[in-house]
């Protein structure tokens, strides 16, 4: 600038300052859009889902030169305004056929976790868990974490509480001892490998235990050629007996066992054929990602940055409602996100609010409702924070033109998928950076 003192050294670049300026631009654009929509509402015949084009208000002051430069280049380097998805949405009821189908699907999915509250089922689950072993390992880890925290200067709070350690011990036992992942089930007669033949209708007994579909396999041994059925059970009691399945069965059964030992759980549905669990940590006051298939704990970037998976919707269901948690798992929507075209964003907010009202009905006390609202606001702040940090990281990558390395932890190598055969993972496009196979693999199921 012309009035800058040449004797003063140049100020170092501050990405945080640019992030704040960019957020201010977003707020200004949204205010202008709202003002224009308000003025044009009597004569507007546009769709309720359309967004007006923002315009500059005559009284608006000119932005700072750095802000103007950032605004001029944001369409080339930064995520679009609409893609950030972190601004408040006005809930709108579904009206078009696609939105109504999506609502029915989410309402159906939301019923599953309510079954985890069945006292008889929880008692049955406790009979299969080695409680002495689980609680013993949890106590040992909890004491170790407390000792480590107390040894810090100044003393810190332990990273995980005792209940978190219980879930971590349960996760290790479930993955290594209790449940089995199924690629192609072995022949029941001779134990030889089998080959898939397709789908077959479930029997009445299989349907009664929640099997909406059954996969049919045939033994590859010439002298046997026996058939094997693989029902995809959705009933948790049946899974306690069979103790096998793919990610849908793993997440379903593990979530219920977490509930049996006292954890608050969510079952997370992903539109791209995966499912996992979230457990609430009272120690950290947030929901923790847990994937029993991978023995993964608090690693939500695993799927996009480890597996190379692209995702559109990640919806968490519990006995307390439903929440869109996609921002927790898709940090870079331009790189790892897919089109969210099943319903407008305002409609999705309306659907999740509807499920929350349904689950938090008259049986929920006023104190619990207030607590859940506080948790909802805290989680929304957390999810927005992921968007802001992703934006700041993008600014760093744009402005670091001298080949400096990225900040520590941003480019850390995350593990590839370990559950399922290598061919099966490659066919699903979940084998890291390897391209997906043209062969269609069996679904994991939800």
pLDDT, tens only, 399-431 = 655 555 544 444 556 666 666 556 655 665 666
Higher-confidence residue of 32 and 281: namely 281
- Written as six digits, the tokens of 113 are 């976790």
CA distance 373 to 376: 5
Q: Provide φ and ψ at 386, rounded to 5°.
A: -65, -40
Instruction: Sheet with 227-231: list strands edge to edge.
Output: 194-200, 214-219, 227-231
Q: Name which of 281, 278, 280 is nearest 145 in CA terms.
A: 281
pLDDT, tens only, 180-211 = 999 999 999 999 999 999 999 999 999 999 99
pLDDT, tens only, 166-188 = 999 999 999 999 999 999 999 99
Coil, helix or strand for 219?
strand
CA distance 274 to 425: 12
- The rounded mean pLDDT for the chain is 83
> Which segment of 10-19, 43-52, 345-354, 377-386 scores lowest on mean pLDDT?
43-52
Residues known to be catalytic:
247, 274, 291
Q: What is the pLDDT of residue 44?
A: 41
List CB contacts of 175: < 8 A, sequence separation 6 or more: 292, 293, 295
pLDDT, tens only, 291-314 = 999 999 999 999 999 999 999 999
Distance of CA 371 to the CA centre of its chain: 22
Q: What is the pLDDT of residue 57?
A: 44
pLDDT over 90 (residue 26): no
**pLDDT bracket for residue 363 (50, 70, 90):** confident
């Amino acid at each position: 600038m012309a009035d800058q003192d040449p004797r003063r050294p140049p100020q170092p670049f501050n990405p945080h300052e640019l992030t704040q300026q960019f957020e201010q631009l977003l707020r200004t654009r949204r205010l202008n859009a709202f003002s224009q929509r308000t003025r044009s509402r009597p004569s507007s015949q546009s769709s309720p889902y359309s967004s007006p084009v923002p315009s500059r208000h005559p009284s608006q002051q000119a932005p700072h030169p750095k802000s103007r430069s950032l605004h001029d280049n944001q369409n080339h380097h930064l995520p679009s305004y609409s893609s950030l998805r972190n601004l408040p949405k006005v809930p709108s009821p579904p009206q078009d056929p696609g939105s109504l189908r999506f609502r029915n699907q989410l309402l159906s999915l939301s019923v599953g976790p309510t079954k985890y509250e069945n006292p008889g089922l929880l008692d049955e689950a406790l009979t299969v868990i080695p409680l002495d072993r689980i609680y013993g390992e949890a106590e040992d880890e909890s004491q170790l974490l407390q000792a480590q925290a107390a040894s810090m200067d100044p003393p810190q709070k332990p990273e995980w509480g005792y209940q978190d350690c219980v879930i971590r011990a349960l996760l290790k036992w479930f993955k290594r001892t209790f449940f089995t992942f199924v690629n192609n089930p072995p022949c029941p007669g001779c134990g030889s490998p089998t080959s898939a033949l397709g789908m077959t209708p479930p029997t009445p007994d299989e349907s009664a235990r929640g099997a909406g579909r059954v996969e049919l396999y045939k033994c590859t041994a010439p002298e046997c050629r026996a058939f094997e059925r693989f029902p995809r059970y959705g009933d948790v009691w049946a899974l306690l007996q069979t103790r096998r399945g793919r990610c849908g069965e793993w997440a379903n059964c593990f979530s219920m066992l977490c509930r049996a030992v006292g954890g608050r759980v969510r079952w997370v549905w992903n539109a791209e054929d995966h499912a996992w669990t979230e457990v609430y940590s009272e120690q950290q006051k947030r929901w923790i990602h847990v994937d029993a298939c991978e023995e993964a704990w608090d690693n939500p970037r695993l799927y996009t940055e480890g597996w190379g998976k692209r995702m559109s919707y990640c919806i968490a269901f519990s006995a307390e409602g439903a929440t869109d948690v996609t921002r927790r798992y898709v940090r870079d929507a331009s790189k790892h996100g897919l089109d969210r075209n099943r319903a407008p964003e305002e409609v999705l907010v309306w659907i999740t609010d509807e499920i929350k009202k349904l689950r938090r009905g008259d049986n929920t006390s006023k104190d619990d409702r207030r607590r859940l609202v506080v948790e909802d606001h805290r989680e929304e702040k957390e999810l927005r924070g992921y968007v802001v940090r992703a934006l700041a990281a993008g600014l760093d990558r744009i402005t670091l033109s001298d080949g400096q390395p990225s900040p520590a932890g941003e480019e850390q190598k995350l593990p590839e998928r370990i559950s399922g055969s290598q061919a099966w993972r490659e066919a699903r496009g979940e084998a890291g950076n390897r391209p997906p196979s043209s062969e269609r693999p069996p679904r994991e199921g939800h």
